[in-house]
Amino acid sequence: MRILTTAIPGCLQLVPEIRSDARGSFIKTFRTDLFQAHGMATEFAEEYHTHSLRNVLRGLHFQLPPHQHAKLVYCVHGAVQDVALDLRRGSPSYGHHLSLELSAANGHMLYLPAGLAHGFCTLGDSAIMQYKVTSAYAPQHDSGIRWDSAGIAWPLAAPLLSERDQHFATLAQFDSPFTYQEPA
């Protein structure tokens, strides 16, 4: 597995080796020693599976302190435009985002440290995403940024959004409780 740095400190793109033969394919999605060597979390509290139909956009989501979490996300069916938005005050990339395609075909994964908002939209008829998080869901700390307020070039002008996602604060309105810590 190759681990690539991104323009957002601590946010990493993981490019696994895909082994294919007449039976199908095999992808390793987690390796403790490799993750630890790159400063990634290796203890996850929950794992989620989402199935999204055409034109669905989910996000931009995160949990507030003290229940913030790191995430490992990947697409197991279809393809998505996946986005990470840096909300950590003092970060050299505060308010900036990273956008990349995650798909079942490319096997790429994205690791997001705590303090980043995450969202994605489907790029076809449907997509299935898996993500692991380092803290349990805490409804009172669940939050987000409006999908259309951070300068992200989404491929959809009028996405299908949840009621909750339609009413998040804009990036400009959000008073971030997250702070950036220089890597040791």
For residue 129, being part of any structural domain is answered with yes
Residue 173 forms part of a structural domain: no
Is 174 part of any domain?
no
pLDDT band of 184, cuts 50, 70, 90: low
Q: SS3 for 171?
A: coil
Q: What is the per-residue pLDDT across 116-140, written as a single tens digit (0 to 9) for each? A: 999 999 999 999 999 999 999 999 9
Q: Which of 74, 111, 131, 180 is catalytic?
A: 131
131 catalytic per annotation: yes
CATH number at residue 85: 2.60.120.10
Residue 97 placed within a domain: yes
The answer to whether residue 39 sits within a structural domain is: yes
Q: pTM of the full predicted structure?
A: 0.95
Residue 83 lies in a domain: yes
Determine the average pLDDT of the residues in 87-97.
97
Q: Is the pLDDT of residue 183 over 80?
A: no
Residue 66 lies in a domain: yes
CB contact at 8 A, 101 and 126 = no
Domain that holds residue 141: 2-20+27-147+154-166
On whether residue 46 sits in a domain, the answer given is: yes
Total structural domains in the chain? 1
Write down the catalytic residue from 61, 77, 96, 141: 61
Is 61 catalytic? The answer is: yes
Q: For residues 34 and 131, what is the distance between their CA atoms, to the nearest angstrom?
A: 18
Interatomic CA distance for residues 47 and 137, integer angstroms: 10
**CA atoms of 9 and 156, how far apart (whole Å):** 28
